[in-house]
Amino acid sequence: MTSKPKVAFFDFAGCEGDQLEIINLEERLLDLVEVVEVVSFREAMSEHSDDYEIAFVEGSITTPHDVERLEEVRSNADTVIAIGSCAAFGGINSIRNEQDFETVTERAYGEDAAMFDDPDAELFDSFEQAQPAKAFVEVEYEVPGCPIDGEEFIQTVTAILQGGDPSLANHPVCVDCKLAENTCAFDRGEICLGPITRGGGCDATCVSQGTRCWGCRGLVDNPAEDAYSEVLQEYGVTTDELLNEFTLYWSWQREHGPQADMQEAEQ
Amino acid sequence: MSQDIDIEGELVTRVEGHGEIVVNATDGQLEECEWHVVESPRFFESMVVGRDWDEIHHIVSRICGICSVTHTMTGLKAVEDAMDVELSEQDVKLRKLALAGETLQSHVLHLGYLALPDLVGAKSVVPMANTHEEEVKTVIRLHKLGNELIETVAGRSTHAQRTIPGGFSQLPREAELRDLRASLEGSWNDVETVVDLVLSLADELPEFTRETEFISLTDPDGYALYDGVPYSSDTGELDLADYREIVNEHVVEQSTAKFTKHDRDSYMVGALARFNNNYEQLGPMATAVADRFGLKPICHNPYLNNVAQLVETAHLIEHSIELIDSLLESGLEAQSDYHKPDVDVTAGQGVGAIEAPRGILFHEYALDETGTALEGNCVIPTNQNHANIQLDMERLVPTIIERPQEEIEHTLEMLVRAYDPCISCSTHYLDVEFVDT
C-alpha cells in the first residue's frame, strides 16, 4: 500500500472562512482524512510538519513576512493550491489597492498610523497592496469564491489525487443562474456581475438567495465584454456605478488581467 | 529549584488567527511575559469608505469567516441606525434565529474541535475520531445543526446573502422552520453527551481566579444577544452612543499596544461575561447545565469561559425553539423571493452592537446623503479581551513558574484558547508589548 499524500493548510491575510468551509464538510472531512494525511492545519491542529506534497493557501499576501512564509511553502510542496478569492486573485482585501496607502493606514489606525513608517515596527511592515499568492510564487490550481464551495474543493482534491485535471469551469455565472431558473437580477433593477464572473462552482447562489452576483469568483478567462456592455446600456448602468462594482473583488485582477501570469505582479 | 524558561513566540494553534505567547525567566525570575498579536492588518475601516450603504454589510462580513453573520448584521444595524430604518418584528426574530445558529456553531466548533483536545490530551480533533468516536460524531452533529440554522434563515452559513438593509431578501419556508424545530428538539441527547464529556474532564480546567470587569449587552426582554444596551459588571448600564468611551482604545505607556479598558485596567467580553451579567435570563436547560458544573455568577476564572459556552449552547437551542414557535404561531408574512425592503437613503451616523460568539461587537458608520460611507469604525470582541489575557498571564505565570516549561506553555495556551480569540477578526492590531510586572 502506498502512503497517503500529505497535505498542509496555510493562512495569510483573510477571514479564514475558506478553512471554515472545509471544516464544515463535517463527516465528509473524516472521509477525506482517510485518503490524505493532514500534517498542518494551524486553525484546528497543534501538530505541524514541513513534510507535505500538497499545500493549500488561504488569504492575501500583504507583508514581507507573508512572502517568506509563502516561498517556504512553495519550496516544500509539489503542488500549491490557492483557496478562496483573497489567495486566488486578491479578493475583498484588494479594495484598498485603489486607495492611497497613507490614507488607508490613517483611517484604520488614526494617529498611530505612523507605525507603518517605523522601520523597527516589524509587524507594521505592510505592502501598500493586497496581492494573490500567484503574484509571488507559482500556483498550480485555484479554488476561487468568497467563501469557497466545499463541493468544488472536494472535486479539486479528488481530481489531483486521481491525476486528473482540476481546471475551473470557464463559463459565466449567467449559465448557472439560468439553470437555477432565477429571475435576472438586471430585470430587478440590480447591477449584476454574473455575465462576466466565472461560474461553475457557486450555482449562482447569491442570485438564488435574492441578491445579485458580486463577482466573488473572479472574472471568466475571456469575458464577453461587448455583449456585457450592451446589457449595461440596455439597463442604463453608468460607468461610475460599474467601476464601483469592479473594485469590490477585482482590483488586482483588473490591473493584471483575468489570466495574470505568475510572477507578473510587482512585489 | 529555580529554572530558566524560554517560551518564544510560537504561533498558538487551534485559535482563529495569529497570536504568540512570550515568557522568559532566568533563575526563576520572570523577565518577560507577553501576549503578542501578529495578524496582518487588513484595514476594513478604510475599505468601506466610498462604498454604498447596501454593500457595507457584504464587505464587513469578510472581517471573519467564523462570525460572518454577526459582522454582517452589526454592519446592517449600524447602517439602519444611521438612516432610521425600522425592521418588522418578524425580521428581527429571523435575525435573532440566524445569530443563534452562528453562536451555536461557533461555540461547538471551539469547544469540540479546538478546546476539547486539550482536555483529553490530544493534539487535535483528528486522533479523537479514533479515541472518542461517538463524542466526535456528536460534536459534528451539533456543529451541523448550528450551520443548518444559519442556512435555513440566512441562505448560507458563511457570508450569508439574505440579510440585507431593512430585512431579508428571501424568507425560509414554514415547513423548513418546522423541520429545524424538530432537529433542535432532537439535539438534547447530543448536548447531554457533550456536557457529560466536559464534566468528566472538568478537573483539567485550571483553578485560576483574577477579579475583573465583565462587559456585555443586557436586555430586559431576554438574555441579550441581538438587542440590548451595553452593561458593565462594575458600573451597570451604559450608553451605546458612547461606545468609544466604553472601550477606550488607547496606547499604554512604554508600549505600542492599543488596548481597551473601562473601569479597571482590563475587562472581559464573551460567553462568561454574558453569563455573569445576564445569568437570571438563561433558559431552564441552560441553568441546569450550569448547575451540573456548579457554575454561578460572578465567576472570575477565565478557563470557565469554556463551560459558559456550553451553558449557552443549551440556551441557544432553547432560544431558537422559542423563536421558531413564535414565528410559526403568528405565521410568516409572505414576501417576494427577491425582496428589496424600502429604505429612504439619508445622510447620518449610526452605531450597531451585537453579542458576537466571542463578545460585544461594535460597528459605526457615517454616511453622506447618497448613502456612501464617509468613515467606519469596528471594535472587535477579541481586541477587547487582549488586555485581560495579558493581565491574566502576568498573574498566573508567577504561580506556576516552578513547573516544567512544557506545562507552563500548555497552561498558557489553554488560557488563550479559553478566550476563544478570533484574531483574524481584528481590523487593527498593534504589537502587544508589556513591561515586566
pLDDT tens figures, A146-197: 999 999 999 999 999 998 888 889 999 999 999 999 999 999 999 999 999 9
Q: Are B325 and B181 in contact (CB under 8 A)?
A: yes
Half-sphere exposure of B128 (CA within 13 A, CB side): 24
Cβ–Cβ of A15/B169 closer than 8 Å? Answer: no
Average pLDDT (B271-286) is 98
Q: Least CB-CB distance to B161: which of A42, A99, A209? A: A209
Shortest Cα distance, chain B CAs vs residue A167, angstroms:
24
More confident residue, A52 or B259: A52
Query: Helix/strand/coil (H, E, C) string of chain B?
Result: CCCCEEEEEEECCCCECCEEEEEEEECCEEEEEEEEECCCCCCHHHHCCCCECCCHHHHHHHHCCCCHHHHHHHHHHHHHHHCCCCCCHHHHHHHHHHHHHHHHHHHHHHHHHHHHHHHHCCCEHHHHHHHCHHHHHHHHHHHHHHHHHHHHHHCCCCCCCCEECCEECCCCCHHHHHHHHHHHHCCHHHHHHHHHHHHHCHHHCCCCCCCCEEEEEECCCCCCCCCCEEEECCCEECCHHHHHHHHCCEECCCCCCEECCCCCCCEECCHHHHHHHHHHHCCHHHHHHHHHHCCCCCCCCHHHHHHHHHHHHHHHHHHHHHHHHHHHHHCCCCCCCCCCCCCCCCCEEEEEEEEECCEEEEEEEEECCCCEEEEEEEECHHHHHHHHHHHHHHHHHHHHCCCCHHHHHHHHHHHHHHCCCEHHHCCCCCCCCCCCC
Per-position b or e across B390-422, b if 16+ CB within 10 A of its CB: bbbbbebbeeebeeeeeebbbbbbbbbbbbbbb
User: CA-to-CA distance for B321 and B324, rounded, in angstroms?
Assistant: 5
Cβ–Cβ of A108/B44 closer than 8 Å? Answer: yes
pLDDT interval class at B255 (50, 70, 90): very low
Nearest CA in chain B to A13: B40
User: CA-to-CA distance for A198 and A146, rounded, in angstroms?
Assistant: 13
Residue B301 contacts A where some CB pair is shorter than 8 Å: no
User: CA-to-CA distance for B149 and B158, rounded, in angstroms?
Assistant: 12
User: CA-to-CA distance for B119 and B121, rounded, in angstroms?
Assistant: 6
What secondary structure letter does DSSP report for A117?
G
B372: number of Cβ within 10 Å? 18
Looking at residue A197, its pLDDT comes to 94
Q: Which of B157, B146, B395, B356 is nearest to B265 (CA)?
A: B395
More confident residue, B94 or A104: B94
Q: Least CB-CB distance to A42: which of B11, B65, B338? A: B11
Question: Given its phi and psi angles, is residue A102 left (phi above 0), alpha (psi -120 to 50 degrees) or beta?
Answer: alpha
B399 pLDDT above the threshold of 80: yes
A243: enclosing H helix or E strand: helix A239-249
Q: What is the mean pLDDT of chain A?
A: 88
Nearest CA in chain A to B375: A107
Global pTM?
A: 0.93
pLDDT tens figures, A91-134: 999 999 999 999 988 888 787 788 778 777 776 778 999 999 99
Q: What is the mean pLDDT of chain B?
A: 90
Exposed/middle/buried for residue A232 (C-beta within 10 Å: 0-12, 13-18, 19+): middle
Residue A93 contacts B where some CB pair is shorter than 8 Å: yes
Average pLDDT (A221-244) is 84
Cβ–Cβ of B64/A17 closer than 8 Å? Answer: yes
pLDDT interval class at B303 (50, 70, 90): very high
B313 pLDDT above the threshold of 50: yes
Task: Average the pLDDT over each of B99-108, B130-139, B413-422 and give the range with the smallest value.
Answer: B413-422
B253 pLDDT above the threshold of 50: no
Looking at residue B39, its pLDDT comes to 64
Residue B366 contacts A where some CB pair is shorter than 8 Å: no
Shortest Cα distance, chain A CAs vs residue B143, angstroms:
8
Cβ–Cβ of A92/B431 closer than 8 Å? Answer: no
Residue B158 contacts A where some CB pair is shorter than 8 Å: yes
Q: Least CB-CB distance to B161: which of A46, A95, A211? A: A211
Cβ–Cβ of A24/B156 closer than 8 Å? Answer: no
Q: Are B126 and B94 in contact (CB under 8 A)?
A: no
pLDDT interval class at B43 (50, 70, 90): confident
Sheet holding B29-37, edge to edge: B5-11, B19-26, B29-37
Residue A180 contacts B where some CB pair is shorter than 8 Å: no
- Taking CB atoms and an 8 Å cutoff, what residues of chain B touch A15? 62-65, 68, 424
- Taking CB atoms and an 8 Å cutoff, what residues of chain B touch A214? 55, 58
pLDDT interval class at B437 (50, 70, 90): very low
B-interface mutation test, from A111, A205, A211, A237, most B Cβ less than 10 A away: A211
Cβ–Cβ of B338/A188 closer than 8 Å? Answer: yes
- Taking CB atoms and an 8 Å cutoff, what residues of chain A touch B63? 15
Residues 326-355 of B with CB under 8 A from A: 337-340
Q: Are A94 and A69 in contact (CB under 8 A)?
A: no
Task: Average the pLDDT over each of A110-119, B146-155, B228-237 and give the range with the smallest value.
Answer: A110-119
**Interface predicted TM-score of the whole assembly (ipTM), two decimals:** 0.94
Residues 232-271 of B with CB under 8 A from A: 251, 256, 258
More confident residue, B423 or B43: B43
What secondary structure letter does DSSP report for A184?
P
Q: Which residue has the cell 514581507?
A: A64
Residues 186-215 of B with CB under 8 A from A: none
Q: Least CB-CB distance to B158: which of A21, A92, A209? A: A21
- Taking CB atoms and an 8 Å cutoff, what residues of chain B touch A131? none
Q: Which residue has the cell 425592521?
A: B87
Q: Are B280 and B290 in contact (CB under 8 A)?
A: no
Looking at residue B3, its pLDDT comes to 76
Tell me the β-bridge partners of A7.
Answer: A38, A54
Residue B13 contacts A where some CB pair is shorter than 8 Å: yes
Q: Least CB-CB distance to B337: which of A27, A38, A210? A: A210
pLDDT tens figures, A29-57: 888 888 999 888 877 777 788 999 999 99
Of the segments A1-15, A108-122, B36-50, B175-189, which one has the largest average pLDDT value? B175-189
pLDDT interval class at B383 (50, 70, 90): confident
Cβ–Cβ of A146/B159 closer than 8 Å? Answer: yes
Residue B144 contacts A where some CB pair is shorter than 8 Å: yes
pLDDT interval class at B70 (50, 70, 90): very high
